[in-house]
């Protein structure tokens, strides 16, 4: 009996070794590794990883659902870790310096409210440290999130989201990009420690936060939600909000405009300004105007305006 058990154990070890070898061969040939798991509802989910040795200048991502995070790491190749399932499949390629990600979603797509039941949403893109300063980025994401750390930068970045969150950390105001343009229908946009020639952020329903940022031109628009600017410096700043609040903290500009239909405009501005502030229904309190200083124009239909000098 003991001899039989010993034989079974040895055979099991041999088959396991053969499986590992075959997996390694498959990975070496195709550049993709895969591991399949099953969820409690019977959905088949395959964990995959694909690598590219090419140099990348741009990223073009178009997905219906996903939680995407960019990383900078000490590897030599670009690596994308992701999940495929019977509901979601990805096609990832790298040609002519462009990393392209496309996603196909089943017509009868179901998504659990708990992330653990939807691991196929997660995608991690790893860029070598020497190749993490990119020229262009284009992101289209219907539902999910996009996170870009300070170690990864784009000269120009255009993003469009329907529902979810966008978070980006820059490399400080000393390293200036060309353009950042992000729109989100329902969700939040957060940008910190960032500098660019032009910053344009818009949301239909949600919040927009811009912190420790510098640009020539800044445009922020939010239909329903809040606009928050903290330690922001620009030549021209324009803010529009239909329903919500506009909050300014240590903001400095040559020309600054804020329009809020229903809600307040409050905060602090750095330096002196020539003020023009009006409210149809609400109180107005601004510092005394200084002739020849920068222009500050604020207007609300229903709501108060309260600005102080920092």
Which is nearest to 127 in space by CA: 84, 81, 74? 74
User: Is the residue at 103 inside a domain?
Assistant: yes
**Whether 175 contacts 195, CB under 8 Å:** yes
User: Is the residue at 101 inside a domain?
Assistant: yes
Query: pLDDT by residue for the chain (310 residues), tens digit each?
Result: 445 444 434 444 444 444 443 334 333 333 454 444 444 445 688 999 999 999 999 999 999 999 999 999 999 999 999 999 888 899 999 999 999 999 998 765 454 443 434 556 899 999 999 888 999 999 999 999 999 999 999 999 999 999 999 999 999 988 899 999 999 999 999 999 999 999 999 999 999 999 999 999 999 999 999 999 999 999 999 999 999 999 999 999 999 999 999 999 999 999 999 999 999 999 999 999 999 999 999 999 999 999 999 9
User: Is the residue at 223 inside a domain?
Assistant: no
User: Is the residue at 179 inside a domain?
Assistant: no
Tell me how many domains the chain contains.
Answer: 1
**Whether 44 contacts 85, CB under 8 Å:** yes
Which is nearest to 85 in space by CA: 118, 61, 108, 107? 118
**Whether 50 contacts 95, CB under 8 Å:** no
Residue 291 DSSP symbol: T
User: Is the residue at 197 inside a domain?
Assistant: no
Domain range enclosing 73: 47-169
User: Is the residue at 181 inside a domain?
Assistant: no
Alpha-carbon distance of 130 to 7, in angstroms, equals: 51
């Amino acid at each position: 009996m003991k001899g039989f058990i010993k034989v079974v154990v040895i055979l099991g070890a041999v088959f396991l070794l053969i499986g590992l070898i075959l997996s390694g061969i498959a990975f070496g040939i195709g550049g993709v590794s895969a591991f399949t798991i099953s969820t409690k509802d019977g959905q088949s989910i395959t964990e995959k990883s694909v690598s590219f040795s090419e140099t990348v200048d741009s990223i073009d991502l178009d997905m219906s659902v996903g939680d995407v995070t960019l990383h900078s790491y000490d590897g030599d190749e670009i690596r994308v870790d992701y999940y495929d399932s019977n509901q979601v499949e990805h096609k990832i390629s790298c040609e002519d310096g462009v990393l392209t990600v496309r996603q196909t979603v089943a017509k009868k797509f179901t998504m659990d409210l708990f992330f653990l039941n939807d691991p196929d949403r997660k995608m991690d893109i790893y860029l070598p440290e020497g190749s993490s300063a990119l020229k262009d980025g284009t992101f289209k994401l219907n539902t999910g999130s996009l996170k870009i750390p300070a170690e990864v930068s784009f000269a120009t970045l255009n993003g469009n989201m329907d529902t979810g969150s966008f978070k980006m950390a820059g490399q400080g105001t000393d390293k200036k990009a060309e353009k950042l343009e992000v729109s989100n229908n329902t969700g939040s946009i957060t940008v910190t420690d960032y500098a660019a020639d032009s910053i344009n952020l818009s949301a239909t329903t949600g919040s927009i936060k811009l912190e420790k940022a510098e640009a020539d031109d800044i445009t922020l628009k939010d239909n329903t939600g809040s606009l928050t600017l903290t330690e922001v410096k620009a030549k021209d700043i324009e803010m529009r909000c239909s329903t919500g609040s506009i909050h300014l903290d240590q903001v400095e500009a040559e020309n600054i405009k804020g329009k809020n239909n229903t809600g307040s405009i409050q905060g602090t501005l750095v330096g002196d300004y020539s003020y023009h502030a009006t409210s149809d229904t609400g109180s107005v309190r601004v510092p005394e105007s200084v002739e020849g200083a920068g222009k500050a124009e604020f207007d609300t239909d229903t709501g108060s305006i309260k600005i102080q000098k920092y």
